[in-house]
A = this chain, B = another copy of it.
């Protein structure tokens, strides 16, 4: 650790180095923690593990706030140890999901740009400890984050105490790619002076009141690699449909070959869709997103993407090595921002983003469920999808038309939970095709969605539903007593497919 101490350039802090176990011992039952970490990147690692160890011999619960999902199986181990009272604003772990769905812990599923407002306005519990991963602390006392920013700046500012985890295994070349900007309190704000994806408006690190820094812990642990699966035939076809839609926008004079700043959600489908741009005619692209996955670096390599703004970098194992070992070629093409800025409605609307996110299911009128399996069981959370879809130029949702070998249709009469209303969903894409819902009344959308997006095995069944719904009339015809029949069928018979489709 002799050399590592040089990472603490604010020398008055050098005597605050402690073991993780010691720092974790300061955290008491009932406290609220603000942990760094966004889509598995840049998460605090040592203190969470020390807490998990403590749970073996001690009973306590804490509230865990973060940027988004944590890596290193921390959410899994937190859940299994039973030490989380409330989790906010996002998680993506199967074990934690199970606890949430069993009602054993509280999960506040929240727009990723909104947490900042709640914390500033004291709507949430006060944060007792901010625990943030860092590359270093500068001479003037700024914390340099690692592979994500998330809510870290906010946690540091509003927490009573701060613990810094300096991770010696994170790439030091990342210093300088962060841009930390504080919007301040509502009602006292100036416009955010960001008009292009590559604008820098803040500082390279997180300012911290040095008095609040209770401890500094050294760690050596890589981020969890992203489990991204390579594009398959269907995701490639979906990417093709999305490209066709974008081409039609260019033909209509609504976009140029530079498109508009792209946002793409976490996950394999979104990554595959971005991959589809590599061999396209589109060029001079910008990314303004909350997470950069493998495809964005491939697009930079291919000379397609000029600049990428995000709140985190989440890569597969192979890509991580490649990017870290060649970071010089990326560092002037990337900026990491607080999630309040990456997901800010002001910026999203100003830049006119093209926003691409994944749906669990959508319905014949264009309402989207992103979170709840059969309306009740939480998957991950809404994340940033609502921040983007509401305020973007184009709110695009992608999903495969069927799941579980056709037992589930992703297009249903009435979604069993609504995260994005018909007012915010512009285009839906499946491997069957796309439906552009803009400027259409609900009745105009139905056949477009059935014909362009539904799997053929379910089309007749949906037409029968809609025909019966039309006999009831209305702006948005439905047969309410059958609206969830596909879901209840699935629960009872194991499939949404009816044995015979009887026409009304």
How close is A387's CB to chain B, nearest CB, in angstroms? 9
B439 touches A108 (CB 8 A): yes
A419 at the interface (CB under 8 A from B): yes
Bound-state Cα–Cα, A261 to B106, Å: 32
Residues of chain B with a CB closer than 8 A to A350's CB: 186, 189, 191, 346
Query: Does more than half of chain A's interface fall in helix, strand or loop, or is it mixed?
Result: loop
How close is A95's CB to chain B, nearest CB, in angstroms? 15
A103 touches B376 (CB 8 A): no
B473 touches A101 (CB 8 A): yes
B122 touches A254 (CB 8 A): yes
B473 touches A252 (CB 8 A): no
Query: What are 21 A-B contacts defined by CB distance under 8 Å?
Result: A86-B441, A100-B475, A101-B474, A103-B473, A106-B443, A107-B441, A111-B423, A114-B423, A122-B252, A186-B351, A187-B260, A346-B349, A346-B350, A367-B418, A372-B476, A377-B473, A416-B478, A417-B476, A418-B421, A419-B423, A484-B484
A441 touches B108 (CB 8 A): yes
B376 touches A478 (CB 8 A): yes
Residues of chain B with a CB closer than 8 A to A422's CB: 109
A497 at the interface (CB under 8 A from B): no
A345 touches B349 (CB 8 A): yes
Bound-state Cα–Cα, A199 to B480, Å: 48
Most chain B C-beta atoms within 10 Å of own C-beta, residue among A374, A439, A469: A439
Chain A stretch 449-473: residues in CB contact (< 8 A) with chain B:
469-470, 472-473
A191 touches B189 (CB 8 A): no
B376 touches A102 (CB 8 A): no
Give 1 or 0 for each of A372-414: 1 = CB within 8 Å of chain B CB: 1011111000100010001101000000000000000000000
Shortest Cβ distance from A195 into B: residue: B190
Bound-state Cα–Cα, A181 to B439, Å: 25
Query: Count of chain A residues with Cβ under 8 Å from any Cβ of B?
Result: 85
Bound-state Cα–Cα, A265 to B88, Å: 31
Bound-state Cα–Cα, A260 to B252, Å: 42
Contact status of A378 and B475, CB under 8 A, knowing A186-B351, A187-B352, A195-B189: yes
Bound-state Cα–Cα, A378 to B480, Å: 15
A250 at the interface (CB under 8 A from B): no
How close is A46's CB to chain B, nearest CB, in angstroms? 28
Question: Which 5 pairs show the lowest CB-CB distances between chains A and B?
Answer: A186-B352, A376-B474, A191-B191, A378-B475, A345-B345
Bound-state Cα–Cα, A348 to B186, Å: 10
How close is A436's CB to chain B, nearest CB, in angstroms? 9
How close is A235's CB to chain B, nearest CB, in angstroms? 27
How close is A125's CB to chain B, nearest CB, in angstroms? 8
B476 touches A378 (CB 8 A): yes
A54 at the interface (CB under 8 A from B): no
Contact status of A480 and B484, CB under 8 A, knowing A254-B123, A349-B346, A352-B186: yes
Chain A stretch 347-364: residues in CB contact (< 8 A) with chain B:
348-352
How close is A473's CB to chain B, nearest CB, in angstroms? 6
Cβ-neighbour of A391 out of B88, B191, B345, B417 (below 8 A): B345
Bound-state Cα–Cα, A86 to B441, Å: 8
B484 touches A386 (CB 8 A): no
Most chain B C-beta atoms within 10 Å of own C-beta, residue among A187, A192, A420: A187
Given A345-B345, A417-B476, A419-B423, 7 new contacts (CB under 8 A):
A101-B473, A108-B440, A109-B422, A187-B261, A346-B346, A375-B483, A378-B476
Most chain B C-beta atoms within 10 Å of own C-beta, residue among A192, A344, A391: A391
Cβ-neighbour of A186 out of B253, B260, B344, B441 (below 8 A): B260
A488 at the interface (CB under 8 A from B): yes
Chain A stretch 468-501: residues in CB contact (< 8 A) with chain B:
469-470, 472-478, 480-481, 483-484, 487-488, 491
